[in-house]
Chains A and B, each alone.
Chain A
Amino acid sequence: MKLKEARKRLQIVDQLPTADSRRLSKTWSGTAPVPRLAVWEITLACDQQCIHCGSRAGAARPGELSTEECLDLVRQMKDIGVGEVVLVGGEAYLRNDFILIIRAIRDAGMSATMTTGGRTLTRARADAMVEAGISAVNVSIDGMEQAHDRLRGSEGSWRAAFAAMGHLRAAGANVHCNTQINRLSRNDLRPLQRALAQAGVTAWQLQITAPFGNAGDHPEILLQPYMYPALFDELEQLADDADTLGMKIWPANNLGYFGPLEARLRRLQKRGGHYKGCGAGRYVLGIEANGAIKGCPSLGGAANIGGTVREHSLRQIWEHAHELKYTRERTVTALWGYCGQCYYADVCRAGCTATSEPLLGRPGNNPFCHHRAQELAREGLRERIELVSKGPGLPFDHGLYRVITEALDPERRAAEGPVSVEQPRTSRLVDPSGAGRPLDIEAG
């Protein structure tokens, strides 16, 4: 279907229903919580070759849902209480029926948003999205031009992303931005903030590059946990500047936790101004382009996919698949390493699952934590990660890393070597619950 044809199928309406939001509006009882936010990869086709792409997007995923299947899934999402649907890819706009999906979401009374790299987001596409009723578009920009283009594997990508923001704004869309923080973009944050403000961006999501998909194969771009204290010093400056610029900083789930900046960063996001644990399977739902349903949009594979809507209803999978119930049912006994002993263990639960599981093979221990880095620094220690093995090369797959604790002081570090080494652990496929067991790396 061509875009022009899809636009002709859009019914002309005076007004779309008021859009719901992802905000939790009720507590839950009974079988399952309500998934307020659905992140939906509608195609894996992509117009860039990002070296940090978690889904290893490029070609369309085999067996992607048809238009009619997508529209039926929209109805099912509404039925189970979804308030906002985020369309992602690949590049969602490479499916020309994406505007029909947007309209169906809005007709059902949900918010329809989109996250995009914007490489070929033309004015025509922007107009069509707005015509369909897109609620907001988040454009991904990872650093200034040089860093962004290298990460995206596409020269001109940075300029194209800013051009896309221009098209979207001209078409009348609400435009936000999100940025991955990694070793390439790390030093670009302040100039990028100014560039985004000049482009009219008022909401900016920040997150660290997590080691799944392509990113897991590139340890050289990943932040090290010991970089966190300095990073958060910079985030505080960004927060100061954001106030001046009228920009809202929105920390993603993997940027935290419980350090001195926690309340300031999360005051608009979480009641009480602090992180409350991974939302995957609790109020967040992930959908792959072939109809596979998972709790975390950023994880895949057998440990996370609970079934496909071609075999079961969305409600059945959401309510009953044990893969989706993991974060609902786990307890602090699933935490291990530093996180198992942490003061915030019960409420934090080791932070973002999409960061901890791809790093160490199973959730429950996460060195990417401001509080943890600060506490270790007080003891004269730091942590770094080291690649053990790469993933097999599938969408949302991951390799394995180990965490090495060592002296903060370079001379001591050189003289004494590691203080301790935390090896990756057995996956949830091997040990479905609990803290798992350290893998015998030497024995393979």
Chain B
Amino acid sequence: MGEESACPFCGAALPTTSPRRSYAATLGLSLGLMTAACSAATSSDDGGSTGAGSGSATEATSLSAPSASTGGDPTSTSDGAMTSTGTETGVDDETTDDPDDQGGSFYAGSPDTSTGEMDCDLFEQDCPLGEKCMPWGSTGGTWDATACRQVANDPQQVDEACTVEGSGTSGIDNCDIGLMCFDVDDKTNTGTCTALCEGSLAAPLCDDVSAVCAVFNDGNLPICIADCHPLAQDCEDGDVCIPVNDGANFACVATSEAVPVGEACDDVNSCAAGLACLQEPADCGPGWGCCRSYCDTSLGDPDATCTAIAPGQVCEPWYQDPAPPGFGNLGICQ
């Protein structure tokens, strides 16, 4: 069990053991990047490869509080992996039933609810030959589902310019399989072909060593984006360095608003460069969270940066021990 073989006719992968989707991340990523809770989480411990700036695998962690919709009580284990205390993640190697499959019966007829798209697996890329599994917005908004989409003729490759059909969340683009057109300009419908993560949701990977797998939207958007250091703010112009994967990593995304320090933010990329949108303590007025400044704990007076912004604030280490290499001095004004 568990093997896959290519179908000589239909080209579809044939999983004999169902992929399990117990992932519980809930970061919303709409046309802008919606806000998520962020706390200083531990990184996973696979030999240091998952730390911020490692450009390699990350554990699939969440930036937000457990969601009731995930059906359990997801908690982060000491190694950062997600577990669930619910009963919905049971694994039985004998069954080939996939969540999302729809049964049929001689007498039952077509289901009333099957007017939508069938989900697919972004990591397994289990769509029929000539199609690719893509994140898309099933309600026209943010990426909240996956679906099989045709691969374009002569598709664009990673980092090449691309176009989308409809909107940036339609899932229809001219990038190759395993890529999606990301960072789309909604006026021109053009963006850049960006790699979807490989591996698995539990252990996502990016081929590009300078990229980090950032998992957003309940796992519906696992994407490889450039890593960065929040103190250096070493992203390209127009991008900001934001925490991803439960704060374990940092990655570059396009800024949406450049909200100044101490003001309310609604998206994880709302804040200006050098700031993070954190939910707690939420003491800056209406909004999901507050823009807070990063600080350097290795400075002679690390709190000086913070008190200059707001009296009483101190520079707290971002990571609990151990911090990933190069990030030991990262702090946040609280």
Which of B's residues lie within 8 Å of A, judged by CB? Answer: 1, 5, 7-16, 18, 20, 71, 87-92, 94-115, 117-121, 126-129, 148
In whole angstroms, what is the CA distance A251 to B104 when docked? 8
Which of A's residues lie within 8 Å of B, judged by CB? Answer: 21-30, 33, 36-37, 39, 54, 84, 86, 88, 111, 113, 115, 135-136, 138, 174, 176-178, 203-205, 207, 210, 248, 250-254, 258-260, 262-264, 267-274, 276-277, 279, 282-284, 286, 297-298, 328-329, 343-344, 346-347, 352, 354, 371
Q: Across chains A and B, which 9 residue pairs bring their CB atoms closest together, nearest first?
A: A29-B90, A138-B109, A263-B128, A136-B112, A250-B110, A263-B10, A203-B110, A21-B113, A26-B88
| B12 contact set on A, CB distance < 8 A | 262-263, 272-274
In whole angstroms, what is the CA distance A203 to B90 when docked? 33
In whole angstroms, what is the CA distance A259 to B11 when docked? 10
Contact among B5, B13, B87, B98 for A276, CB-based, below 8 A:
B98
In whole angstroms, what is the CA distance A248 to B127 when docked? 19
| A88 contact set on B, CB distance < 8 A | 107
| A344 contact set on B, CB distance < 8 A | 7, 14
In whole angstroms, what is the CA distance A297 to B107 when docked? 7
Please state if A262 and B9 are interface contacts (CB–CB under 8 Å).
Answer: yes
| A251 contact set on B, CB distance < 8 A | 104
| A284 contact set on B, CB distance < 8 A | 103, 105, 108
Please state if A178 and B109 are interface contacts (CB–CB under 8 Å).
Answer: yes
Contact among A22, A29, A260 for B111, CB-based, below 8 A:
A22
A21 with B111: in contact, given A268-B118, A276-B101 (CB under 8 Å)?
Answer: yes
In whole angstroms, what is the CA distance A428 to B139 when docked? 48
Please state if A115 and B107 are interface contacts (CB–CB under 8 Å).
Answer: yes
Please state if B105 and A297 are interface contacts (CB–CB under 8 Å).
Answer: yes
Please state if B111 and A84 are interface contacts (CB–CB under 8 Å).
Answer: yes
| B103 contact set on A, CB distance < 8 A | 22, 24, 36-37, 279, 283-284
| A136 contact set on B, CB distance < 8 A | 109, 111-112
Shortest distance from the beta carbon of A276 to any chain B beta carbon, whole Å: 5
Please state if A24 and B102 are interface contacts (CB–CB under 8 Å).
Answer: yes
Closest B residue, CB atoms, query A259: B9
Closest B residue, CB atoms, query A331: B94
Please state if B16 and A347 are interface contacts (CB–CB under 8 Å).
Answer: yes
Closest A residue, CB atoms, query B71: A26
| A21 contact set on B, CB distance < 8 A | 102, 111-113
Please state if A28 and B105 are interface contacts (CB–CB under 8 Å).
Answer: no
Please state if B101 and A269 are interface contacts (CB–CB under 8 Å).
Answer: yes
In whole angstroms, what is the CA distance A253 to B108 when docked? 10
In whole angstroms, what is the CA distance A21 to B113 when docked? 7
Please state if A37 and B108 are interface contacts (CB–CB under 8 Å).
Answer: yes
Closest B residue, CB atoms, query A208: B106
Please state if B113 and A298 are interface contacts (CB–CB under 8 Å).
Answer: no
| B13 contact set on A, CB distance < 8 A | 272
Shortest distance from the beta carbon of A63 to any chain B beta carbon, whole Å: 21
In whole angstroms, what is the CA distance A250 to B1 when docked? 28
| A258 contact set on B, CB distance < 8 A | 7, 9-10
Shortest distance from the beta carbon of B181 to any chain A beta carbon, whole Å: 22
| B8 contact set on A, CB distance < 8 A | 343
